[in-house]
Amino acid sequence: MDLALTILIDGAIYASWLFIVALGLTLIFGVLKILNIAHGSFYAIGAYAAASIVGLFAAEKFAPAFSLVALLLAAVAVAVIVGPLLERLLLRRFYGRDEVLLVLVTYALFLILEDVSKLIWGVNPYYVTEPYGLFGDVSLGSLFYVGYDLAIVAVALICGVGVWYGLNRTVLGKIVLAVIHNDEIAASMGINIGKVYLGAFTFGVFLAALGGAFTAPMISVQPGISVGVIIVSFAVVIIGGLGSIGGAAIGALIVGVARSTAVHIWPAAELFSIYLVMAAVLIFRPEGLFQRAVARRI
């Protein structure tokens, strides 16, 4: 019983930051129709930026609680700087091109950002320790958890509900939904597609960086973290169905639980449990769990 609970809670913790990252990925896909490999790099840059800003705050002798503000600040900074720059200078040139070609564009971007972050932050690992102890330890029955890990679950819930509310209950959200559904018709109704693309991409970058910033205290921030994240978050959105928020949540939970099951029961399978689940889902639901079938007009 304890084992099952452990697996579930571990799975939920893993799923939570993954969901934040995947949410950005699925949003960018929904609006811009780009499956963004560089999303993993935004995650990594978010983590690095968090390390820098938390370090800066610590050097200025700010109270430890401010380190949480530092994490958020890092994500915002990355989004505001990286998002518009890339969208305006690069992605804009490729809109409407073949999906696979767009994947390659972002693959090129991923390669570039890998080295750029090495140039900025070097190759030695960073540890962001300050925020991790803020919430103490929490006991759930006989199990003990670091409070920070559980706080991440709350952050993920806030992100999910926030994005859902923003999309479905606000005018801006309706505009974005219209663009997701059919950007040509949206444009003909007077919506400024360019702005929506820019906004959605920047927000997607923000979510990736936020995921990176909030996981930074849980990991050692070093080159290579982007690769692992991108593959796993791809698995999440593919399992859930591209462009679906609910799908991203379910996909993250499935991946999280699959991984923690493997870790606790069959550690050797940790590495590929995620791919196995993704392959299994795709075999039975070729377009993911929550993808609507699109009828072709002939």
User: Given candidates 8, 231, 263, 289, which one binds other proteins under the rule CB under 8 A?
Assistant: 231
Which phi and psi (to 5°) does residue 285 adopt? Answer: -130, 85
Three-state DSSP at 144 gives strand
User: Given candidates 65, 108, 161, 265, which one binds other proteins under the rule CB under 8 A?
Assistant: 108
Q: Give the type of residue at 6.
A: T
Three-state DSSP at 243 gives coil
Residue 51, token pair as written in the block? 């390390």
**Rule CB under 8 A: is residue 292 a binding residue for other proteins?**
no
**Rule CB under 8 A: is residue 263 a binding residue for other proteins?**
no
User: Given candidates 58, 81, 103, 191, which one binds other proteins under the rule CB under 8 A?
Assistant: 103
Per-residue 3-state assignment (H helix, E strand, C coil) for 108-143: HHHHHHHHHHHHHHCCCCEECCHHHHCCCEEEECCE
**Rule CB under 8 A: is residue 269 a binding residue for other proteins?**
yes
User: Given candidates 9, 12, 35, 151, which one binds other proteins under the rule CB under 8 A?
Assistant: 35
Q: Give the type of residue at 31.
A: V
Which phi and psi (to 5°) does residue 290 adopt? Answer: -115, 25
Total number of residues that touch other proteins (CB under 8 A)? 44
- List binders of other proteins among 272-291 (CB under 8 A): 272, 275-276, 278-279, 282-283, 286-287
Helix and strand numbers, DSSP H then E, in the chain: 11, 4
Q: Nearest approach, Cβ of 13 to other proteins (angstroms)?
A: 22
For residues 59 and 283, which CB has a smaller minimum distance to other proteins in the complex?
Answer: 283
Strands (DSSP E) contained in the chain are 126-127, 137-140, 143-146, 220-221
For residues 238 and 249, which CB has a smaller minimum distance to other proteins in the complex?
Answer: 238
Give the distance, in angstroms, between the CA of residue 290 and the centroid of all CA atoms in the same chain: 18
**Rule CB under 8 A: is residue 130 a binding residue for other proteins?**
no
Q: Nearest approach, Cβ of 137 to other proteins (angstroms)?
A: 33
**Rule CB under 8 A: is residue 93 a binding residue for other proteins?**
yes
Q: Nearest approach, Cβ of 87 to other proteins (angstroms)?
A: 15
Comparing CA positions, the residue from 177, 165, 175, 156 lying closest to residue 248 is 156
For residues 5 and 111, which CB has a smaller minimum distance to other proteins in the complex?
Answer: 111
Options 64-72, 103-111, 132-140, 248-256: segment touching other proteins (CB under 8 A): 103-111
Q: Nearest approach, Cβ of 112 to other proteins (angstroms)?
A: 4
**Rule CB under 8 A: is residue 118 a binding residue for other proteins?**
yes
Comparing CA positions, the residue from 5, 16, 6, 10 lying closest to residue 259 is 10
Element (H, E) at 72: helix 66-89
Q: Nearest approach, Cβ of 186 to other proteins (angstroms)?
A: 22
76: CB partners within 8 A, 6+ apart = 206
For residues 8 and 231, which CB has a smaller minimum distance to other proteins in the complex?
Answer: 231
Report DSSP letters for 15-45, one per residue: HHHHHHHHHHHHHHHHHH----TTHHHHHHH
Q: Nearest approach, Cβ of 49 to other proteins (angstroms)?
A: 19
Binding site for other proteins (CB under 8 A): 35, 90, 93-94, 98-101, 103-105, 107-112, 114-116, 118-119, 123, 227, 231, 234-235, 238, 242, 268-269, 271-272, 275-276, 278-279, 282-283, 286-287, 296-298
